[in-house]
Structure 1
Amino acid sequence: MAKRPLSFRRLLILRILLLSTPILLIGQAITLRKARSSLLETARQNLTSSAINKATGLQESVRAVESEMLLLADSQALKVGDTNAVSDALSRYSKVASHTVVCLELTEAETGTVISTTCSTPLLPTPLQLPWQQEPTGNPDFYLVDLDSPREGGSTFTRDTYEEPGMRPSLLDLIVAAPIYNPEGELRYTLSAQLGFTQLEDTNPRSLVGKTVIIDPNGIVVTHPNPDLVGLSAVDDLHGSDRFESIISSIRVGNADTLHLFGLLEGGDEWLAGYSGAELPVSTSQTQTWNVLAVTPINQALHALGEIRFILLLLTLGLLAANALLALYVARSLSLPVERLIHYTQQVQDLSSEVKTAPTTHNIWELDYLGKVLERMLRRLEGGAQELRQAWENAQMANQLKNEFLATTSHELRTPLNAILGCIRLVRDGSCDDREEELEFLERADNAAIHLLKIINDILDIAKIESGTVSLDLETVNLDKIVQDVLDMQGLQIQQKGLTLHRPEHTQETWVKGDADKLKQVLLNIVYNAIKFTHEGSITATVEVVQAGEETEESPPIPAPRVSVTIADTGIGIDPKDQKKLFHPFVMVDGSRTRSYEGTGLGLAISKNFMKLMEGNITLYSAGEDQGTSVTLSLPLLANPDVTGVDADNGDGEVPVLVSQQAEG
């Protein structure tokens, strides 16, 4: 059994829900994606700023330590004081230092003997590597000791002085050293200190301060959220070393940006890392670039996305419920009028009964109008059927005319081609008796070629006319001279056929605006047809000027003067019922009487279009078969060229071009 189609109401509900629900879901997905992108962009900017602040703070802290160490080394207690004075000075410094002093150590410069220390192990295992040990300068100096690995048994320091929730210090221990010279400029002591630097870390999920990772210039991790990774090489030992290498390379060229890290801690979670460089002084004249990172887990950076997702979920559920109710209401309000119209059309059994008025809703203009359209449609069905039958008959007639035209044209093309081929082959094969016979065959071939060219030109002209690409060059021309030229050109054929030619008695020059070549082509076509369809009698050409307001047999009074050229013959004539067909392309009169004549029947159709483009007209009249035919051309008459501002006749009856006009479809 075939599946029953859905009702309009149910289909309308389903369509509304199927179209609106994906749009809501897609909108939610796009909103979440946009929110995630915005939160990530905000996190990147905040982490980059945090890394810059951490790097700046570390740089300023080391600079402060450098100043303090230089002042301490320049104090008189360390330069000339005894052991007790030195110990007192170091003790006072531990209390007033800007940073936490883990331990201090004072060693003899020459022997390396420890004079005073608060450290459990020596801070400088190889003191001879210090610059002033090799080349004493006598001036206060400063040196930042870069430790490649954690010191075994070294001092440790922990502190928790921040009581704000989610805030804790991140400790970075650095060892610094400074030379102490006596007043004579001789190296006396080497002072070294282990100092603790703090970096604030906000572990609140809404904060993007981030945890701190510090990598020294040699690529060694100095500070890390996982203490077990401190002292390892960031580019060799850590997971995702290629990312750390990219960060270090970017910091070296002075960039500060954000990068995603994977597997910063165990578990393989994704982290965001903002990074910046800190220029720390190694000595009073040299600095090194340290790499400072502010890192935070990606889920913490997107913490607010959960709340946005929950709100969007509630909003989507509410919109879906409202959309379902709206779909039910809209479907009912639209389906009821449609159902009434269906019931109305079902009540109409046949067109013979009276058609009732269609139901109206008074709310929906389109449905009310549809009811009126149904009424008119029912009343026009019979008329439409009649029009369809007429169109079918016209289509059959057009197809028949097309077939007749193709058959006639094929015959007209084949006949001259056969004549050309036959004559040329006779001459080529040497079948002629003498040169005179060869010339006779060549002349026949030439005449056939000219006739073939005329047929092809007619076909091309009608094709241009149909496509609207034919163009005319309109100019002021002497119509009398063109008529005389055409009659002169056809005079020999008229004489050979034994016909009498009556030329126009009009002697005054008649000026019109038109295309001289196309006008001559029209006249040649009319005279050629008169010769072709006339076996005995005469051909008469007349030129007549009709002034404004005058009446003619064929037309009512005209508003402007015109000139007409009439070519009348005493030939086979045309049945009056067929005369209007002659000016349509591809339409020919019954070929039973014209089959023996040459031509495709396109000449008059081409002539009519040319005359229309020249603002003229062409008409044909025949009293009936064997009563001759007269064809009349009519064009607007122009005043004397001297009056219109045009130069006089230049010898050939034509004047310069005035305007160019192109046919329109």
Structure 2
Amino acid sequence: MAKPRQSSFRRILVSKILLLLVPVLLIGEIVAYKKARSSLLETARQNLTESAVIKGEKIVETSAALKTNLLSASQTTVIQSGSPLEVKRFLNQVAQRLPRQIECIQLTQPESGNVVASTCGDQPIGELKFPIPNDGINVEAILPPKLGTTGRKDLPNQLRLLLSSPIYDSMGDLRYALIFRVTILQEKGRTKPGSLTGSTMVIADDGTIMAHPIPSRVGTNIAQHTDAGRLKKILKAGLAGNKYFLHLFFENEGEELLAGYTAIPSPLTEGQEGKWVIIAVTELDNALYGLEGIKLILIVLTLGLIGASVLASLYLARYLARPVEQLRDYAINLHLNQSTQPIPDNFKIREFNQLAQALGQMVERLKAWAEELEIAWKEAKAANQVKTQFLATTSHELRNPLHTIISCVRLVRDGMCDDREEEMEFLSRVDDAAIHLLGIINDLLDISKIEAGKLSVVLQPIDLRQVLIEVINIQSVNVQQKGLQLNIPQLNETIPVNADAAKLKQVLINVIGNATKFTEQGSITISTEIQRINDKSEVIISVTDTGIGIDPAQQQKLFRPFVMVDGSDSRKFGGTGLGLAISRNLMELMGGTITLESAGLDQGTTMIVTLPLIDDPLLPGAGRKENSHNLGVPFGDQAVRGVKQTAEEVSLQKNCFPSTVNKELNNSTLSV
């Protein structure tokens, strides 16, 4: 049974919320209204100041440009020595090209005042004043008493100037006076409501009003008006250079205005040190345009918030616990692995939505981590299988040459050979097996350096032609032994590249050795080509064979360490699967690339090695144009004789100087 004077939770909640919220909302409305009014006034002051600065700069720039145009026109040969008809024709042409601020151009005789040529009738618009300034241009303002002589309807607020310049003939005598009537400031009517550019007032440093939104005040002095005190303060501050200080002042009608001002040098000839104060002025109501709308929005918003508070307090007790309960049920079902519904996230309270989002993200991260762990486990398993296969292959590759070395050494040691020639044959086999074994070990060392990031190259300018010739001479023996046709390029010109000669030779021996190893019959074609891409030249070495080819789906695997396309091929042809991986890393260190192209199985393979060309004058023949880098020619009789001679020389060196030839043939049996 409820005790007396006790109320329900909802009623207490509603009364307390309204008791606290309504005064806060009313105070907030007042503060927001004052803040909005202050912000609008500050914005208006800043905009009016910027508007005054921009207008002042425009007046200065326009005056300077017009003086330049007048000076240029006065120095033309046609005006100085031409006939009146030519001068008039010239002025009409000039008027079409000059800025639109120039209303009239006249050429007069200074002594008589007669108009020689004009673009606005024969009535004189001014005369040349003496003395003439150093820049040769007189400037004077046209005030209202001088207006109305041309029959033109004047705009409400504009500032006109007369610019005149003397013209002398070839003898240095004064002949004409060229006069421009220009408008450097012009405003049409009142500004639009809400516009903060303001109307323009121009006041000279002596207080003369040069331009004013009220035409009757132009030409008067500020001392003649009831608001002279505030105008004098603005004039004084502007002349002192305080263009950022803004003031509210009142006109004689009692209207409150807002002004921004700045000072500029006077464009008039008299008083070169004088200044004009440019004032951008607007009504206070115009500066506060939109404040009533803001006030209405605040009232509507306050009423809406009060109504929303009432509704929120009524339904708060009901809906406050529901999000927590839903999240709790979801967490329990998730813990029991029984969650089949997505996490609820359609709450009306932001914090609960954020909590639901965070919980959902946590679940997604856990799922992603589980998937990553599963993928990592599969990759580790696959890597383990690859390395197991690699160890088996490597063990086989190491065991065979070791068996050959042991068997041959024992035969020679036990004196099982019939003569010295047979001993030398066994020792030659031992030497070949040792070189092959050293190549495998070098591959293992290189791949370990690559994985540790310690493999390095020494780049220096070399002649690629010499390296390629050496590699062809070394590999031609193996090509001849297999009975293959070798097509080589015409290497007549220097090919300067920046590379490590030993590492580049290792890559080329590996590429040509692979082509020889995987080709049973047919030919091997080596070609070079120079191409230019993006203002950079590069040399392309292509090695094309007619061998077993590679399935396109398996081609990219060849550049991975420990990976071979088919284990049966490794047993048939030998190799550890490291050659192309090492070659790719070496080419990247030298700034080049190595790629593979094959149409498929039994359709041959093309290995492409590219290196950027350099222009090194230190190399012999550098800078000469390569005439035919892409001419693959058959390995003819003369080339065959060279190959046979090279084979004999290599065989002789191998038998006589095994320690010397080891270094040259170190990579001759590298395989993939």
- Same-fold call, TM cutoff 0.5: no
Provide the TM-score with structure 2 as the length reference: 0.42
TM-score (norm: length of structure 1): 0.42
Structure (1 or 2) with the larger CA radius of gyration: 1
